[in-house]
Amino acid sequence: MSESAQPATPVTFPPAFLWGAATSAYQIEGAVREGGRTPSIWDTFSHTPGKTAGGEHGDIAVDHYHRYREDVALMAELGLSAYRFSVSWSRVQPTGRGPAVQVGLDFYRRLVDELLEHGIKPAVTLYHWDLPQELEDAGGWPERDTALRFGEYAQIVGEALGDRVEQWITLNEPWCSAFLGYGSGVHAPGRTDPEASLRAAHHLNLAHGLGTSALRSVMPARNSVALSLNSSVVRPLSPQDPADLAAVRKIDDLANGVFHGPILHGTYPDSLFAATELITDWSYVLDGDLPAINQPLDALGLNYYTPALVSSAEADPSGPRADGHGASDHSPWPGADDVAFHQTPGERTEMGWTIDPTGLHELIMRYTREAPGLPLYITENGAAYDDKPDPDGRVHDPERIAYLQKHLAAVRRSITDGADVRGYYLWSLMDNFEWAYGYEKRFGAVYVDYATLARTPKSSALWYGEAARTGTLPPVEAE
């Protein structure tokens, strides 16, 4: 069956499959100065002129900090069985050091209790890009000390919530933290240093390992520890061209191998070292680091939106311009100036990303081979569209429904093909602050009127809710 076709028979998922939605702290919470919270790198970045669309920021965002009960009730009404959220490091450990601020932890305790009371399984992400600014001032992720501080922070949150939260994710998309934050500069903290981006990648890996050990030292053995990777599906422009295949390998190392190599296999790819030898000597990888990083995982989260299409090219130090990761004079791909990115053909979302559910199936099956026996979760998948209420106040988004149907069908096909996929988290529960894009891009299944902060479930939320309640994908109405 083609993923673009309407299934002839109902697409039904295993009974224990988790149907969730995902958010992150800085994108939804607001209340940035309440309860002792101090600025994160995203507070600083978004208040720096020219860094975000319209100079927008997350000071209020969608005010989830004060409206979480309303939001949890909405999740329950839709029929979701799981909710993935992140903890703001600055809210619970304001400077990134020292004891926790209990009022900050209390917010997350209340949120977890509210979810459990509504029968929704919480999944906690410890780090979704919002490093405390004081740690960045001390050097940020390129410095080893930040990884050590993360281990202490993980223990604090694990002690506070580990008795009630069973699913844990150490890091969300460390590729973005390292290479968009320190390479291209389109994400906070906005630095543009190729060597710093590679140092950051290693110390994020080390943070994952130390955080995993810290969580397991204070939590019940039943709890699951994972991380979420935005692993790229990298395809060659010309599959028969050895130079294009070499370009695929280079980008695959920088997008995927730099993280799953040490995390899953305890080593970095030799080809990564060779490609970046003019940028760094990797001397910051110390004895004992790789075993510390290579902690056994209980699950792996995969975030997927669109594949990448690459070819070899004449070396261009100004970097690629069609990789889908924002405009910058600096490349997020250190050592890959001789690789060109191409726009993949097909229908696109408002982000300009091609809709290709075959990439999700390919990604799942890759990690089924890469880490046999490791349970997988799709921890992010979704689409941005230009959603607007109709005259009756309803928000109809048939494009998103079609997107979800195709990608969930790809997940089900992966399960049929032998993958152990145990859940899907729609990105995102509701419209929110979309990083450097400000409030321009709406990924939510729930529409947010930013003037009033009123929430309105879109038709996609109702469709997804029916899938969650029945375990079967509802039909997609023809337009």
Q: Report yes or no: 271 and 254 within 8 Å, Cβ to Cβ.
A: no
Q: Report yes or no: 432 and 455 within 8 Å, Cβ to Cβ.
A: no
Q: DSSP code of 355?
A: -
Dihedral Cα 442, 40, 171, 338, nearest 10 deg: 80
Q: Kindly list the catalytic residues.
A: 173, 380
Q: DSSP code of 84?
A: E
Nearest CA to 432 out of 42, 60, 121 is that of: 60
Max Cα–Cα distance, the chain, nearest Å: 64
Q: Report yes or no: 445 and 21 within 8 Å, Cβ to Cβ.
A: yes
CB atoms within 10 A of CB 31: 18
State how beta strands 82-86 and 18-22 pair: parallel
Quick one: which H or E segment has residue 157? helix 144-161
Alpha-carbon distances, residue 258 vs 247, 268, 301 (angstroms): 16, 6, 16
Q: Report yes or no: 112 and 161 within 8 Å, Cβ to Cβ.
A: yes
Nearest CA to 329 out of 181, 192, 475, 474 is that of: 192
Nearest CA to 56 out of 436, 328, 431 is that of: 436
CB atoms within 10 A of CB 374: 16
Nearest CA to 208 out of 133, 287, 148, 156 is that of: 148
Alpha-carbon distances, residue 318 vs 55, 199, 237, 334 (angstroms): 26, 21, 21, 11
